Amino acid sequence: MKNIALIIILLVTVSCKKEIKNTKLVGSVFGTTYAVTYNSEVNYKPQFDSLFAVINNSMSTYQDNSIISKLNENELVEVDDHFITVFEASKTIYEETDGAFDPTIGAVVNAWDFGPKGEIKELDTLKIDWLMRSVGLKQVTRLDKKIVKPKGTFLDFNAIAKGYGVDMIGEYLESRNVNDYLVEIGGEIRTSGINAEKEHGWKVGIESPNFEGEHSILDVVELMDEAMATSGTYRKFKIDKEGKRYAHIIDPKTGFPSRTNLLSISVIHENCMTADAYATAFKAMGLEKVKNFAKDHPELKVYLIFENDNQELETLALNGFPKN
């Protein structure tokens, strides 16, 4: 009888075990989409949208009344704590990469028709030299909540602010004791804990570069308590007279396009803001410089997809970047 009673108790316990189901919220922000999956029944979408609005009001170059837009129009304005955090991180990464990451290069990128603004017709060396006078984050300083910059300098945090937004959502969830989550904005990701519904780490796909615009997954990695950002160069490329494809990246030091065979760069770090910025910087640095840089920065796990001399895709994992 005792054994029968024990079996009944076990059966009741198993049948009463609640099936874990994640909450998934999706929407649009920063000119792209977001998806947040987390282990809680609470709908935090209103809070997420409020956070996004605050970040946009601080750093969106697409909003005329944002803090950064007013600064770019040379208005006197105080910056907020979000702006200060991103500005100081940008300064650090600008110095670490010897200017390969530079949030002041936007005007030149636009001039070459690789940015959101219109290209400059009949672009020549004189026009580039004129634009380059205002390039260089070293020319921009912060005095408490005031930013001091040359009049022509155009600040653009699009290459780091998206990762910062990911971190802000993650930190908000943690403040509500939600510790199993995945936050994704436009491909930039932050994870914490596990996917409670699947009972394993968060599985994330790395897209295969495709010049025709098709989408396919090249590799899958499992993340736990890490962030990952990916920067691709293959969506905007040129073909030289020998038929080789090259992504054209604007060199922050010269203002002219430089060829790179790096097609996709994924960076894993403890926070998404840092991963986002380095993934962008590595585009301008090129394969060999990235390999050397990674040796001195073991905190950055790096995965490179590049095209070799035979126009074949190759991959390279650095500093223990996880691969299946």
- For residue range 107-149, list pLDDT tens digits in order: 887 777 665 455 555 677 888 888 889 899 999 999 999 999 9
Whether 194 contacts 181, CB under 8 Å: no
Structure tokens at 179: 């510790």
Instruction: Identify the pLDDT of residue 247.
Output: 57
Structure tokens at 188: 């930039």
Residue 181: which of 158, 202, 208 has the closest Cα?
A: 202
Task: Report d(CA 156, CA 116) in Å as an integer.
Answer: 11
Q: Which domains does the chain have, with CATH numbers?
A: 19-61+157-200 (3.10.520.10), 76-155 (1.10.3980.10), 201-318 (3.10.520.10)
Beta bridge partners of 316: 304
Q: Which of 126, 268, 280, 289 is nearest to 206 (CA)?
A: 268
HEC letters along 257-293? EEEECEEEEEEEECCHHHHHHHHHHHHHHCHHHHHHH
Residue recorded with tokens 């989550």? 181
pLDDT value at position 147?
97
Q: Per residue of the chain (324 residues), what is the pLDDT tens digit?
A: 545 544 444 444 444 556 789 999 999 999 999 999 999 999 999 999 999 999 999 999 999 999 999 999 999 999 999 999 999 999 999 999 999 999 999 788 777 766 545 555 567 788 888 888 989 999 999 999 999 999 989 999 999 999 999 999 999 999 999 999 999 999 999 999 999 999 999 999 998 876 565 667 888 999 999 999 998 865 555 555 566 555 567 888 888 877 788 889 999 999 999 999 999 999 889 899 999 999 999 999 999 999 888 888 899 999 999 976
User: How many angstroms separate the CA atoms of 122 and 103, rounded?
Assistant: 25
Question: Of the candidates 201, 179, 204, which has an alpha carbon nearest to the alpha carbon of residue 268?
Answer: 204
- CA 147/CA 123 separation, integer angstroms: 30
pLDDT at 10: 46
Tokens found for residue 303:
């995965």
Q: CA 44, CA 47: separation in Å to the nearest integer?
A: 5
